[in-house]
Structure 1
Amino acid sequence: MTAADLSRVETSELVGTGERRLSRALVLTIAFGAVLQALNASTMAVALVDIRDQFDAGAAASWMISGLYLATAVGSPTAGRLADLFGSRRVFLASLALTLVASAAAPLAPNLGWLIAFRVLLGIGTCAAFPAGVAMLRAEADRLGVELPTAALSVLAIGGQVMVAFGPVVGGVLVQYWGWRSIFLMNLPLAAVVIVMALVWLPRDRGVDKRASVWGRLDLVGAGLFAATVAVLMLFLLSLSERPQWWWLPVLAVVAAAFVAFELRAREPFVDVRMLAGNRALSGTYLRTALTYVAFYMVFFGFPMWLQSARGLPPGQVGLVVLPIALLAMASVAVAGRVLPRMGHWPVLVAGSAMLLAGGVGLILLDATAVVGALVAVAAVLGVPNGFNNIGNQSALYRQAAARDAGIAAGLFRTSQYVGANIAAAMIELCFAGPVSDPGLHRLGGVVAGISAVLLVGALVGLVVGRRFR
């Protein structure tokens, strides 16, 4: 579905039917707040080169990508539980306020370290709106005694997809004419408008248990150990691009072991380790999803960097060249959705992995002399597998997760995506290892192709085994 589809959604479809139904203003306000995360993630694809040049940064600039996704991985589930404790409207408004503060402060950052810190704050602010918004929709539907319309959730999903598609285009124009600071400043009017909408149209919080214990409901220690594990892994991987710091490996082992040990004892763990250990098929799906998103984000952020630095395209044109990646991803979701009921998730994953492999080979064949048509063609090939892989992995998740674990399993699915994004940021630095160049793009394409080949073999094995035991 596209933005045009969103505009054609009828009010009755959006909010339900009958006299009791969700307010359209409620749904759209939540959607406008939730899309800020996708918008801020995708605009960085065309701003990173300028930021790297501004601060004369090397591999450390990759934290502009991984910092936001690490904050999102920890902040999103935490925000959902905070919404239950303190009220979803309060958390929604607080997230927008934090977005305003981080966006106003980022352009004033005196060095890269401060800019990364403000980017992390921005990640926390923008990621909280979605879980708080969904909680608000469910609470309002329960209050009215109606089912939560699937179209209301579709609006949130469509909004995110549209922002991923057009974020690099918007960011490219902003960076080209007003510099990298403009991708932060654009949040100021957007967040301010959503705050006004929220104050006017979002219902006040009801039934909040003020006696509830924050420490009893939030696994803050587990979330902190999870973030530390991913951060240490990032530090080790980034060191490989310059001088390998092998001492990070024992630190990683200790932190990861502490994380697992604590989660095994936690009453409400941030990551349910027992569930993962007891369901190998589901754990395999998370691993496959993480690998898929390593490849996707390597393309989504690495390809625009090469287009700017090596191919010499201006940021605005870069946004247009990579636009087919997101547009065809949205189109392929619809195709995969129709194929899935008849063929199951394994054939869909085989097709997605094969197309991703073709896209990786396409990157290997490009160089700085390639015409724009060839660049767009490779971008189009790389866009197709995203819908197939995403739908295929989601379908596998719902088949493999027990009903009692559905909520936890869905949350970990998002977490595995963000872990993949963090690893991708480090892999981009390893591939380019200095000035962005054709050999770096070829190494990046080789890694994408290698990951795709592993995914393809795994999907083929799953397909054969699945048919044998039917």
Structure 2
Amino acid sequence: MANEPARMHKNELLLITAVALGTLLNPLNTTMISVALTRLQEDFHLTFADVSWLISTYYLASAIGQPVMGKWSDLFGRKRVFMLGLLLVTVSSCLAPMSPSFGWLIGFRIIQAVGSSAIFPSGMGMIRSRITSNQARALGILSIFSSTSAAFGPSLGGFLLHYGDWPLIFLFNFPFIAGSFVLAWKLFPRDPKTSGSMADMDWWGVLLFSATIFMWLLFFLSFEDGISWWKLAVSVALTVVLYKFELRKSKPFIDVVFLRKNVNVSLIYVQFILTNAVFYSIMFGMPSYLQRVQQMDPQQTGLVMLSIAGFSVVVTPLVGRWIDRSGSKPSLLVGTSAVVLGTLLLLIIRDQASVVTIFLVLCVLGIANGFNNLGMQTALYDFVSREETGIASGLFMTSRFIGTILSSSLLAALFGKNITTSHLHSMAWICAILGVLMLLLTLRMPRGKRAAAAAK
């Protein structure tokens, strides 16, 4: 009996590992492909605007898939949905390397996005139901794990491209899939019988949300040829229709009543959208720029991009301790200020710039990522009750994907036909403006429960 607590502790760690190996698949596959965009352009004879659809559709499928699969996990069982997600990622990772055309590759990536989107909400639900002590620490580990894996994506992609080709990026998923599958199969309890059915889904809400996101995506992509006013009008109209429709639903797909009642939380979502728009613009824009303009090979590109991931990982534990003492706002002030500084420093990069200069500039953006990621996550939970954690987390992830969609649209507009240092500087100015908006939102943020408790 003396070994019982240790055994339970070990099982909890293995359970967290099973979920972590699965949940990292989405952010990792989101960014690993960034270094391969140049190779894909060559293989399929595409422009950057064409190949950016590989990014945009992945984000679009993830933004829709996360809340849908979260609802499914509640209705049909977390273990079933988790295993279904792993199966879809396995199928897509097997078939994507054999894609006969770019359209097929996009299709397989969409399947991968839907599968990986099923893993996060079902895995988080499993953690919340199975781990009752130190639950916040377990959820924090998973959040940090998924966030930092996105930052490591370009570096891993660079090494895989150096030793193979872009298909290796998809095959790299299998060790994570296998580890997650074996542990989940053994450790996840059987799902109880549920009375849920497809009829319980707000399918009209799903359709309206999908159409709204897709229309906004088309509007942002139109920037390459000038603003399309009719697309803007349709996007705004669909947004209004979605809001009014969901407002009347008792079980809405997007809980707009929750957003309306929680203004601070809604503004955190807006700030998180801006945070991800900047972060993923850098994560996808820089690798293509380094290869096209600075003439770096994929391995060199991966090493330079490692500066972002490395500094994100280094500062995250320090930021965590600071947040425990002082709350989220001070860390976000540092993080958003670092975004403004780092994006403005991109302006000193010229053609044939020193590798050291580029590395040091990206280090500043890596530090900003470490502060902002953890700061945004903890700020969210400062303003929601325990009962609201599920819905708040789901909308938080949807905000992330809306930001990534915005980033891919920005890059398509700037890098669509050609990639130059001038285009990089245009991206830097836009990201700096977004950074200033993030800083202003942080300044108006009230003091959260964590900071109030620390002050007592």
Q: TM-score, normalised by structure 1?
A: 0.87
- The alpha carbon displacement at 1:123 in A equals 0.7
Equivalent residues of 1:242, 1:433 under 8 A apart: no
- The alpha carbon displacement at 1:152 in A equals 4.1
Question: Structure 1 165/350 Cα, relative in aligned 2: closer, same or farther at 3 Å?
Answer: closer
Q: Which residue of 1 aligns with 2:22?
A: 33
- The alpha carbon displacement at 1:215 in A equals 2.1
Uncovered stretches (5+) of structure 1, i.e. residues with no partner:
1-11
Q: Which residue of 2 aligns with 1:420?
A: 403
Looking at structure 2, the residues matched to 162 and 424 of structure 1 have their Cα atoms a distance apart, in angstroms, of: 18
**In the alignment, which of 15, 18, 36 is matched to residue 47 of structure 1?**
36
| Structure 1 segment 333-372 matched on structure 2, within 5 A | 333-372=316-355
Uncovered stretches (5+) of structure 2, i.e. residues with no partner:
none
Q: Which residue of 1 aligns with 2:259?
A: 276
Equivalent residues of 1:138, 1:148 under 8 A apart: no
* Stretch deviating more after TM superposition (430-439 or 248-257): 248-257
- The alpha carbon displacement at 1:17 in A equals 2.7
Q: What SS class does the counterpart of residue 240 from structure 1 fall into?
A: helix
Q: What SS class does the counterpart of residue 353 from structure 1 fall into?
A: helix
| Structure 1 segment 301-312 matched on structure 2, within 5 A | 301-312=284-295
Q: What SS class does the counterpart of residue 353 from structure 2 fall into?
A: coil
Question: Structure 1 294/16 Cα, relative in aligned 2: closer, same or farther at 3 Å?
Answer: farther
Looking at structure 2, the residues matched to 134 and 207 of structure 1 have their Cα atoms a distance apart, in angstroms, of: 17
Amino acid at match of 1:437: T
Question: Structure 1 87/362 Cα, relative in aligned 2: closer, same or farther at 3 Å?
Answer: same
Whether 2:365 is the aligned partner of 1:382: answer yes
Question: Structure 1 63/389 Cα, relative in aligned 2: closer, same or farther at 3 Å?
Answer: same
Q: Which residue of 2 aligns with 1:174?
A: 160
Whether 2:181 is the aligned partner of 1:195: answer yes
Q: Which residue of 2 aligns with 1:4?
A: none
Question: Structure 1 281/92 Cα, relative in aligned 2: closer, same or farther at 3 Å?
Answer: closer
Amino acid at match of 1:29: A
Query: What is the aligned-residue RMSD (CA, Å)?
Result: 2.8
Q: What SS class does the counterpart of residue 184 from structure 1 fall into?
A: helix
**In the alignment, which of 306, 315, 321 is matched to residue 304 of structure 2?**
321
Question: Structure 1 44/238 Cα, relative in aligned 2: closer, same or farther at 3 Å?
Answer: same
* Stretch deviating more after TM superposition (388-397 or 422-431): 388-397
**In the alignment, which of 424, 437, 454 is matched to residue 454 of structure 1?**
437
Percent identical among aligned pairs is 35
Amino acid at match of 1:52: Q
Q: TM-score, normalised by structure 2?
A: 0.89
Equivalent residues of 2:272, 2:399 under 8 A apart: yes
* Stretch deviating more after TM superposition (187-196 or 436-445): 187-196
Equivalent residues of 2:17, 2:180 under 8 A apart: no
Looking at structure 2, the residues matched to 26 and 338 of structure 1 have their Cα atoms a distance apart, in angstroms, of: 25
> How many matched pairs?
447
Equivalent residues of 1:239, 1:245 under 8 A apart: yes
Question: Structure 1 394/139 Cα, relative in aligned 2: closer, same or farther at 3 Å?
Answer: closer
- The alpha carbon displacement at 1:294 in A equals 0.8
Whether 2:220 is the aligned partner of 1:237: answer yes
Whether 2:86 is the aligned partner of 1:96: answer yes
- The alpha carbon displacement at 1:239 in A equals 1.8
**In the alignment, which of 423, 428, 431 is matched to residue 445 of structure 1?**
428
Q: What SS class does the counterpart of residue 285 from structure 1 fall into?
A: helix
Q: Which residue of 1 aligns with 2:393?
A: 410
Amino acid at match of 1:214: M
- The alpha carbon displacement at 1:461 in A equals 4.7
Q: Which residue of 2 aligns with 1:130?
A: 120
Whether 2:5 is the aligned partner of 1:17: answer yes
Deviations 1:228-268 (A, max 9, x none): 21111111111221355432223213322221122112222
Q: Which residue of 1 aligns with 2:193?
A: 208
- The alpha carbon displacement at 1:189 in A equals 5.2
Q: Which residue of 2 aligns with 1:430?
A: 413
- The alpha carbon displacement at 1:404 in A equals 4.3
Looking at structure 1, the residues matched to 162 and 101 of structure 2 have their Cα atoms a distance apart, in angstroms, of: 21
Question: Structure 1 180/278 Cα, relative in aligned 2: closer, same or farther at 3 Å?
Answer: same
* Stretch deviating more after TM superposition (358-367 or 281-290): 281-290
Deviations 1:118-170 (A, max 9, x none): 111101111222222233334444xxxx5365554455345434533432222
Higher normalized contact order (CA 8 Å, seq sep 6+, divided by chain length): 2
Looking at structure 1, the residues matched to 198 and 134 of structure 2 have their Cα atoms a distance apart, in angstroms, of: 28
Deviations 1:71-104 (A, max 9, x none): 2222223222322322222212211111111122
Looking at structure 2, the residues matched to 140 and 347 of structure 1 have their Cα atoms a distance apart, in angstroms, of: 33
Q: Which residue of 1 aligns with 2:45?
A: 56
Q: What SS class does the counterpart of residue 24 from structure 2 fall into?
A: helix
- The alpha carbon displacement at 1:411 in A equals 1.9
